[in-house]
Amino acid sequence: MKKRLFLHIGSHKTATTFLQSSFAASPQALAELDLLYPRAGRIYEAHFNLVWALNDRAFANRALQDIPVWAELFAEIDASPHATVLLSSENFGWGSDVTRLADLAKRYDVQVIYYLRSPDSHLESFYNQVVKDFDTKEQRPLERYMSEDQLGILDTTKLLTPWAEMFGRAAIRLRLFSKSFLPDGILADFVKAMGYATVPAFNPAADSAQHKVALPPDALEYLRLSNPWLTERAGHHDFVVRLVKFSTANPAAFQTTRSGILSPRARQVLRLRVRANQLQAVHAYLGPRRTPFPANEAPDFPGYDSRLPEADAKVMGKVAALIRGIV
């Protein structure tokens, strides 16, 4: 009998880092689930090395078993007594050539897990992240970013179609990401999505997940306006983690601007913009139903119009003074 292989492919900004860190930190929970979370291909507690190898030109014409990190993975799975395997990397769902993974269908019973988030909260969270990440260091305000970017992260149908073509539509386990759809939390939902009836106790996620926590508005604005001068990679990640910890411990002190917050009308427009795309995916993988994120239910943000569109010198000075101890 083939082992079950779950591929968790995203989406970005749906608690992927928290999930990965939780699985990596909880060997006792994995044992209770009879679940292997392989070490092969793992970096930053996720299986990014597997994706990077697929995109490495040096391995462009090689079968999976001829790529060293994938060969290590197959050996680890074969040697494991566990009947179920989980691979997790949101980068799987971002530009991967899924045809390269055809061998997985021959070896395993492959199931694909993907979380769908409301487009407005997804974009706000993604924007927050690209401001924080050194490789992107986004400098544009959010609504300019929304109007100028193609927003490929919101094209759910395009992202999932290659996976359905490779492993079958029935293999796609589409989940909905919001508090109303996750009454017991994302970790419990994920475990149940794999078919388990009970959820064991998991250890706390590591500090590395802090980098993915959203900055409150003024801290985000401070970082956005500082990005042109943050040119040294060394220490950047640690600084962002310290900024996240400090500002989220006292979020009320960082609430003058609307940085990273969509206007109520922009939320509705964005939901309308991607409604057909999301509904097509929902119908394909969850069956006929209404859109899970209707435009008329987009949340309002009280006091949005009274906030500064961008930070002025006073706000920048305040934030600089507040965070002086962490720099």
Burial class (CB in 10 A: 0-12, 13-18, 19+), 26: buried
Q: How far is Cα of residue 16 from the mean position of the Cα atoms in its chain?
A: 5
Is the per-residue pLDDT at 180 higher than 70?
yes
Across 227-238, average pLDDT: 91
Task: Label residue 206 by pLDDT band (50, 70, 90).
Answer: confident
Is the per-residue pLDDT at 124 higher than 80?
yes
Is the per-residue pLDDT at 211 higher than 80?
no
Q: Is 127 left (phi over 0), alpha (psi -120 to 50) or beta?
A: alpha
Determine the pLDDT at residue 210: 63
Across 123-134, average pLDDT: 96
Is the per-residue pLDDT at 1 higher than 90?
no
Parallel/antiparallel/unpaired status of strands 35-36 and 109-117: unpaired
Across 212-230, average pLDDT: 94
| pLDDT tens by residue, 79-93 | 999 999 999 999 998
Percentage of the chain beyond pLDDT 90 is 87
User: Residue 140 gets which letter from DSSP?
Assistant: S
Return the closest-CA partner of residue 151 out of 160, 139, 142. 142
Is the per-residue pLDDT at 238 higher than 90?
no
Task: Label residue 327 by pLDDT band (50, 70, 90).
Answer: low
One-character DSSP codes across 179-233: GGG-TT-HHHHHHHHTT-SS----PPPPGGGGGGSPPPHHHHHHHHHHGGG----
E strand or H helix that includes residue 175: strand 172-177
Is the per-residue pLDDT at 325 higher than 80?
no
Is the per-residue pLDDT at 128 higher than 80?
yes
- Please name the residues in contact with 11: beta carbons below 8 A apart, sequence gap of 6 or more: 90, 93, 114, 115, 116, 117, 122, 153, 156, 159
Is the per-residue pLDDT at 239 higher than 80?
yes
Task: Label residue 205 by pLDDT band (50, 70, 90).
Answer: confident
Determine the pLDDT at residue 209: 60
Determine the pLDDT at residue 54: 93
The mean pLDDT value of the chain amounts to: 94
Residue 309's φ and ψ, nearest 5 degrees, are -60, -40
Determine the pLDDT at residue 94: 80
Q: Which residues does residue 110 pair with via DSSP β-bridges, in sequence order?
A: 5
The predicted model scores a pTM of 0.92
Percentage of the chain beyond pLDDT 70 is 98
Query: Is the bond preceding residue 22 a cis peptide, omega within 30 degrees?
Result: no
Task: Label residue 45 by pLDDT band (50, 70, 90).
Answer: very high
Is the per-residue pLDDT at 208 higher than 90?
no
The owner of tokens 């979370």 is: 37
E strand or H helix that includes residue 109: strand 109-117
Task: Label residue 233 by pLDDT band (50, 70, 90).
Answer: very high
Angle made by CA atoms 326, 219, 252, in degrees to the nearest 5:
100
Task: Label residue 324 by pLDDT band (50, 70, 90).
Answer: confident
Task: Label residue 326 by pLDDT band (50, 70, 90).
Answer: low
